[in-house]
């Protein structure tokens, strides 16, 4: 297969670049059909489909990497398969079987192999599974027909300016998700709810928004489209609540922290605790771990300086390097997180 897509890998951003194929499967008459491979980048959808009117839409994000040995590695494929099933169950969609999810991901990656960036470029192949409610109806009830599809696109390194801490903001007038709502599932509406505060933060010179719990505004919730963690006294601390999406990256970093000899605490984290932490970062598929320089609580005027010297903390750096090493095949995959393609 031609592995020479005409792309300047080093200048890639985190956006959409067309690739050769995507894969799809439909749920009709109570069962999933056969996998369809297509070059089309559009879908035919009824104007009354439930995904358009009642938010029956879920998605995932994972990555494939090319190692120094030339092999292709997909990170935590099975965990993404399980999480999108939980999202489907949460908003009454038909869950895709784990094995069918894995088959579709592997197929679409292999079909688009020439778009997997080379080792050392800092880039990767982003994999985007999405499920849509397709039934045409105006009554508020679950669809009976669904479309599950996966496309891929090469994306650049998250840290264009290097692995540097950034400022983030707290805006108490915004919530990302409601208590016991859809925050724990990867639903598009959660991201729509974060756009206004995210744009406000960008205009204010901040990299992201740190949301507080939507019930009492006392505890740290999520950091925009990512989870949050902090380090203090040899302990990895991450918020726990029913409105936070369980991040697969965060789950992985917690295990690596344990491997490094740290303690791990997943618990409610009062916002005032930011004054005592030694390091902090947002974590997710895109960045792995993005160190935080300072958190400004806009409404109270309190500024929490996390990085006193303006540099990433040693624990965050080690966590980042270890996870990246596993993804690329540079470090041993002792927890069997990586699927290596033949």
Each residue of 26-57: pLDDT tens digit?
999 999 999 999 999 999 999 999 999 999 99
Is residue 5 very low, low, confident or very high in pLDDT (cuts 50, 70, 90)?
confident
Active-site pick, 186, 200, 202, 217: 186
Sequence-distant (6+) residues with CB within 8 A of 138 are 48, 53
d(CA 173, CA 160): 31
pLDDT at 1: 44
More confident residue, 160 or 20: 20
Asked if 106 and 339 count as a contact pair (C-beta separation under 8 A), the reply is yes
Q: How far is CA 216 from CA 172, 201, 212, 221, 290, in A?
A: 10, 22, 8, 11, 27
Task: Give helix then strand counts, H and E, for the chain.
Answer: 7, 18
Candidates 116, 144, 119, 148; CA nearest to 49 is: 144
Placement of tokens 């599950």 in the chain: 148
Tokens describing residue 98: 């784990």
Placement of tokens 């160190």 in the chain: 291
d(CA 255, CA 259): 6
Mean pLDDT of 252-257: 98
Alpha helices in the chain (DSSP H): 50-53, 77-90, 98-111, 188-192, 195-203, 248-259, 314-328
Q: How far is CA 52 from CA 43, 46, 289, in A?
A: 13, 9, 33
Instruction: Quote the mean pLDDT of the chain.
Output: 96
Beta partners for 212? 220
Q: Is the Cα dihedral 189, 191, 192, 196 positive or negative?
A: positive
Asked if 199 and 208 count as a contact pair (C-beta separation under 8 A), the reply is no
pLDDT at 3: 55
Q: What is the pLDDT of residues 219-253, one digit of tens each?
A: 999 998 899 999 999 999 999 999 999 999 999 99
Q: Residue 2: pLDDT above 80?
A: no
Q: Is the Cα dihedral 236, 219, 302, 208 positive or negative?
A: positive
Asked if 105 and 127 count as a contact pair (C-beta separation under 8 A), the reply is yes
Supply the pTM of this predicted model: 0.96
Q: What is the pLDDT of residues 264-321, one digit of tens each?
A: 999 999 999 999 999 999 999 999 999 999 999 999 999 999 999 999 999 999 999 9
- Is 186 among the residues known to form the active site? yes
Is residue 4 very low, low, confident or very high in pLDDT (cuts 50, 70, 90)?
low
Cβ atoms within 10 Å of 247's Cβ, excluding its own: 23
Tokens describing residue 20: 């050769």
pLDDT at 162: 78
pLDDT at 212: 97
Compute the residue count for the chain.
Answer: 342
Mean pLDDT of 173-188: 94
Asked if 291 and 161 count as a contact pair (C-beta separation under 8 A), the reply is no
Burial 146-160 (b: 16+ CB within 10 A, else e): bbbbbbbbbbbbbbe
Asked if 128 and 150 count as a contact pair (C-beta separation under 8 A), the reply is yes
């Amino acid at each position: 297969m031609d592995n020479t897509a005409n792309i300047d890998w080093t200048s890639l951003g985190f956006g959409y670049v067309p690739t050769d194929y995507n894969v799809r499967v439909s749920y009709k008459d109570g069962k999933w059909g056969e996998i369809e491979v297509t070059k089309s980048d559009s879908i035919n959808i009824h104007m009354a489909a439930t995904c358009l009117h009642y938010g029956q839409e879920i998605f995932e994000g994972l990555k494939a990497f090319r190692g120094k040995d030339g092999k292709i590695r997909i990170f935590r494929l099975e965990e993404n398969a399980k999480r999108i099933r939980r999202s489907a169950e949460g908003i009454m969609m038909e869950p895709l079987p784990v094995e069918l999810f894995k088959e579709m991901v592997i197929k679409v990656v292999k079909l688009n192999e020439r778009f997997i960036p080379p080792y050392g470029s800092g880039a990767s192949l982003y994999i985007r599974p999405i499920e849509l409610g397709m039934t045409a109806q105006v009554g508020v009830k679950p669809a009976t027909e669904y479309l599950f599809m996966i496309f891929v696109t090469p994306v650049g390194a998250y840290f264009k300016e290097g692995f540097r801490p950034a400022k983030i903001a707290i805006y108490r007038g915004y919530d990302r998700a409601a208590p016991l709502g859809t925050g724990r599932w990867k639903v598009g509406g959660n991201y729509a709810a974060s756009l206004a505060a995210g744009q406000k933060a960008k205009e204010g010179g901040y990299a992201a928004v740190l949301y507080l719990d939507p019930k009492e505004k006392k505890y740290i919730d999520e950091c925009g489209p990512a989870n949050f963690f902090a380090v203090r006294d040899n302990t990895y601390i991450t918020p726990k609540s029913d409105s936070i999406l369980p991040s697969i990256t965060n789950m992985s970093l917690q295990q690596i922290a344990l491997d490094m000899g740290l303690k791990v605490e997943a618990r409610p984290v009062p916002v005032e605790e930011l004054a005592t932490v030694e390091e902090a970062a947002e974590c997710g598929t895109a960045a792995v771990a993005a160190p935080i320089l300072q958190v400004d609580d806009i409404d109270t005027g309190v500024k929490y300086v996390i990085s006193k010297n303006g540099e990433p903390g040693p624990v965050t750096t080690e966590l980042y390097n270890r996870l990246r090493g596993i993804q690329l095949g540079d470090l041993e995959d002792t927890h069997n997180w990586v699927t290596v393609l033949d």
